[in-house]
Amino acid sequence: MRIVDPHSEEEVADILRAAHEDGAAVIPRGGGTKSDWGNPPARTDIMLSTARLNRVIDHAWADLTVTVEAGCTIAELQCALARRGQRLAVDPLWPGRATVGGVLSTNDTGVLRLRYGGLRDLVIGVTLALADGTLARSGGKVVKNVAGYDLSKLVTGAFGTLGVITSATFRLHPVPKYTHTVTAAVPDLGAMQRLLNRILDSQLVPAAVQVRAGTGAPQIDVLFEGTEEGIHAQVDRLQEMTPVTENDAEVWKRLDAGAKISVLPARIAETLEGLVGYAVVEATGIGWVQTHRLSPLRAKIEAMGGSLVLMRPYEGMDAWGDTAGSAGGDSLPLMRAIKQRFDPRGILNPGVFVGGI
């Protein structure tokens, strides 16, 4: 396998154009932290590293937006934004190495999603290098914009199978003045679910809520952000529902787990019942599970209308779904048609995505 590390979007396009003509398979790579995610590629001829595309192009702080090249790491980006008291409101895994392009392509948002939305809601524009070397922009640099198709959303979570993201523009949020984490221990999963439902049905506005379950009693962590007065009032209100103790921000450090699950928030307890292993599930219903019994858990979750996708290869399991056609469902033919239009020769990350795309 040949490794190339272009330093401009035009070079990325040139490499892809040549690969397209040769029918050579291209594996885009950011920090290389998530190369185990998805199914293993069917072919690997060229590894296209975005490492040298690492500039913060334009931090328009007064407009609360940033345009950044795909190879910039999340930590470097956040550091640049923090100089103006701003941040991209995501907390993906391995921020020191994970890149903007990789995080977008794998849609790894993190726990702040409850309050600030997912990457799909924060990305407002992308530049894409398509398989045939076309360079295309979609969206723009303004938060509110409905001109043309929103291709930024199409490539978010597409695992690089439709094009290589060379740069992206995001809406930003101010770094909160105060943050405060509290934890409630609950006797069992049933009590956990009841408390979680009450928090979500209340007028509290936590930035993040997560459930930790495995050995011992389940715990619920709640993160508040905002003004000192607002945080105190909300912690007091939460205290009326359940005893809580102050906790360290370390509790939000993301779990490097074997699988990502997505279930309905009100069915988290049901999902975790009988789990042999450990899980952290966010109040959005997205969770991270470490267990040796992935297959039965997937069957149970799929029957509930949710999904379990692998974060690393697991013998005999497809990364995306088990039941024939469950991943992608009746829109899989359309997904294939889109892939065909964007990458007719199937050179980008072949076989990595849903349904063998």
Partner 1 sequence: MSFLDQLRHILGPHGLISASEEARTYECDGLTNFRVMPLAVALPTSAEQVQAVIRICHRERIPFVARGSGTGLSGGALPVKNGIVISLARMNRILEVDLPNQRIVVEPGVINLDVTARVTGAGYFYAPDPSSQSVCSIGGNVAENAGGAHCLKYGFTTTHVLALEVVLPDGTLAHFGSKTLDAPGYDLAGVFVGSEGTLGVATKITLRIVKRPQCVQTLLAAFKSPNEAGAAVSDIIAAGMLPAAIEMMDNLAIQAAEAAVHANYPNCGGLLLVELDGPVAEVDTLMAQTSAICRENGASEIRVAQTDEERALVWKGRKAAFASVGRISPNFIVQDGVIPRTALPKILDEIERLGLASGLRVANVFHAGDGNLHPLVLYDRRIEGQEKGAERLAERILELCIEMGGSITGEHGVGEEKKHMMGKMFAEPDLATMQRLRCAFDPLSLSNPTKVFPRPRLCGETPGEYQPHPLEVAGVAERF
Binders in 43-82 for partner 1, by CB under 8 A = 60, 62-65
331 binds partner 1 (CB under 8 A): yes
In total, the chain counts a number of residues equal to 357
> What's the CA gap between 223 and 342, in Å, rounded?
41
Distances (CA, A) of 322 to 113, 122, 262, 297, 355: 27, 31, 15, 11, 11
264 binds partner 1 (CB under 8 A): yes
Q: Which pairing describes strands 86-87 and 277-282: parallel, antiparallel, or unpaired?
A: unpaired
What sections of 187-227 are H helices per DSSP?
189-201
Which two three-digit tokens encode residue 329?
A: 């469902």
351 binds partner 1 (CB under 8 A): no
203 binds partner 1 (CB under 8 A): yes
> What's the CA gap between 180 and 224, in Å, rounded?
5
Q: Which stretch binds partner 1 (CB under 8 A): 27-35, 73-81, 145-153, 211-219?
A: 145-153
- Please report the DSSP string for 138-190 in residue order: EE-SSSS--SS--HHHHHTTSTTSS-EEEEEEEE-EEPPSEEEEEEEE-SSHH
* Residue (71 or 306) nearer to partner 1, CB: 306
134 binds partner 1 (CB under 8 A): yes
* Residue (96 or 340) nearer to partner 1, CB: 340
205 binds partner 1 (CB under 8 A): yes
235 binds partner 1 (CB under 8 A): no
Q: How many residues bind partner 1 (CB under 8 A)?
A: 91
Minimum gap (Å) between residue 138 Cβ and partner 1: 6
299 binds partner 1 (CB under 8 A): no
Binding to partner 1 (CB under 8 A) within 85-104 occurs at: 85
Q: Out of 100, 327, 347, 348, name the contact with partner 1 by CB under 8 A.
A: 327
CB 87 within 8 A of CB 81: yes
Residues near 350 by beta carbon (within 8 Å), at least 6 away in sequence: 25, 41, 42, 43
202 binds partner 1 (CB under 8 A): yes
Q: Which stretch binds partner 1 (CB under 8 A): 2-10, 173-181, 207-215, 240-248?
A: 173-181
286 binds partner 1 (CB under 8 A): yes
40 binds partner 1 (CB under 8 A): no
341 binds partner 1 (CB under 8 A): yes
CB 226 within 8 A of CB 233: no
Q: Out of 4, 175, 241, 244, name the contact with partner 1 by CB under 8 A.
A: 175
Minimum gap (Å) between residue 280 Cβ and partner 1: 15
223 binds partner 1 (CB under 8 A): no
* Residue (47 or 153) nearer to partner 1, CB: 153
CB 124 within 8 A of CB 170: yes
CB 220 within 8 A of CB 193: no
